[in-house]
């Protein structure tokens, strides 16, 4: 964690200017998620900026993911138990692979 104070952390993150366009999934991520999704519900609960689901969609990974929550989009962040309760309360997305 960058800082305990949320406002300070937001200022640091805003100034950091992390280039999201450089992100890419690990090699083998898609076949691994595809295989796991046959038996398990997969969720992404991330302390990330907005657009997590869009990035996963762009990489072709969302068909294997049941729930995707980004802290910036819902106003909660890990380790707050509320973000996990929210994930459990939401209905799972349908999988194209099942």
Name the token pair of 18. 């992390």
What range defines the domain where residue 89 resides?
41-98
In a domain, 11, yes or no: no
Residue at 83 is within a domain: yes
Q: Is residue 17 assigned to a domain?
A: no
Q: Confirm whether 14 is domain-assigned.
A: no
Mean pLDDT, to the nearest integer, of 36-40?
A: 96
Name the domain count of the chain.
1
Q: pLDDT band at 98, cuts 50/70/90?
A: very low
pTM of the model: 0.71
Whether 8 is in a domain gets the answer no
Is 61 domain-assigned? yes
φ and ψ at 67, to 5 degrees? Answer: -145, 140
- Peptide bond preceding 91 in cis form (omega within 30 of 0): no
Nearest partner of 62 among 30, 98, 24, 27, judged by Cα: 30
22 secondary structure, DSSP code: G
């Amino acid at each position: 964690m960058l800082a305990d104070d949320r406002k300070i952390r937001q200022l640091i993150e805003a100034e950091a200017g992390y280039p999201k366009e450089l992100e890419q999934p690990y090699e083998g991520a898609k076949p691994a998620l595809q295989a796991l999704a046959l038996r398990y519900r997969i969720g992404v609960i991330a302390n990330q900026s907005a657009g997590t689901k869009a990035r996963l969609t762009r990489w072709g990974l969302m068909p294997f993911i049941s729930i995707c929550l980004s802290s910036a989009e819902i106003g909660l962040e890990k380790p707050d138990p509320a973000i996990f309760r929210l994930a459990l309360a939401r209905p799972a997305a349908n999988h194209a692979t099942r």
